[in-house]
Amino acid sequence: MDIIQKYMTKNRCYTSPVTITVKKLVLHSLGVAQPNSDIIFNKMNTNNATVSVHGFIEADRIIQVLPWNYKGWHVGTGKKGSYNNFAIGIELCEPKGHTYNGGTMVNYDVSANKAYFTKVYNNAIQLFAMLCMEWELNPLKDIVCHCEVYTLGYGSNHADVMQWLPKHKKSMDTFRTDVRNKMNNITVIKKSSSAKETELIQKQLI
């Protein structure tokens, strides 16, 4: 899937950029039932917004909204500091239909949302594999979610994404492993010499 670039040109993270060296990738989810990232984009794309992210993942779109090496305001600050200083933040858009009680999803229909979840999860694997290769990161060590960053002491106390992934029998460990496997597959394809070989490998992957 192609990545759509649509920068938040009014957000202060874009208009007064602070460049960062990317060392970590943070997976978030919106914490609200909103599959359309345009709604969130419009809220963030103002000159007084106090939050920003680098990208959104929808069921059928991957959208980059800040240059990867611009500092975003996505994970807050913890007792040891902030991952914002060296991490890309990506939001998974959540499907319609549920509400929240604190950090817990209420009335989330697992079976009805299975297909949606599979799409955003797989899109996230694709994007994170690409970002790990671009920034030479180790997917098993350098990918974390917001609640993990909080536990590490470098972010605010949010539940994402572990309020959601386990409902579909996924975790950050399965995600990290899936990204690593995707990277291995991409590397195999890149190294192969002929178009015929590539075709063969792609068939094997499917």
Interaction pattern, residues 15-34, with Zn ion; x per rule: CB under 5 A: -------------x------
Min separation Cβ 139 and Zn ion, Å: 19
**Is residue 54 a contact point for Zn ion (CB under 5 A)?**
no
DSSP for the chain reads: -PEEE---TTSHHHHS--B----EEEEEE-SSS---HHHHHHHHSSTT-----SEEE-SS-EEE-S-TTB---SS--BTTB-GGGTEEEEEEPPPSS-EEETTEEES--TTTTHHHHHHHHHHHHHHHHHHHHHTT--HHHHEEEHHHHHHHTSS----TTTTTGGGGT--HHHHHHHHHHHHHHHHHHHH--SHHHHHHHHHHH-
Size of the residue set binding Zn ion (CB under 5 A): 4
Beta carbon nearer to Zn ion, 148 or 178 = 148
Min separation Cβ 76 and Zn ion, Å: 8
Interaction pattern, residues 133-162, with Zn ion; x per rule: CB under 5 A: -------------x-----------x-x--
Beta carbon nearer to Zn ion, 144 or 183 = 144
Residues forming contacts to Zn ion in the complex (CB under 5 A) are 28, 146, 158, 160
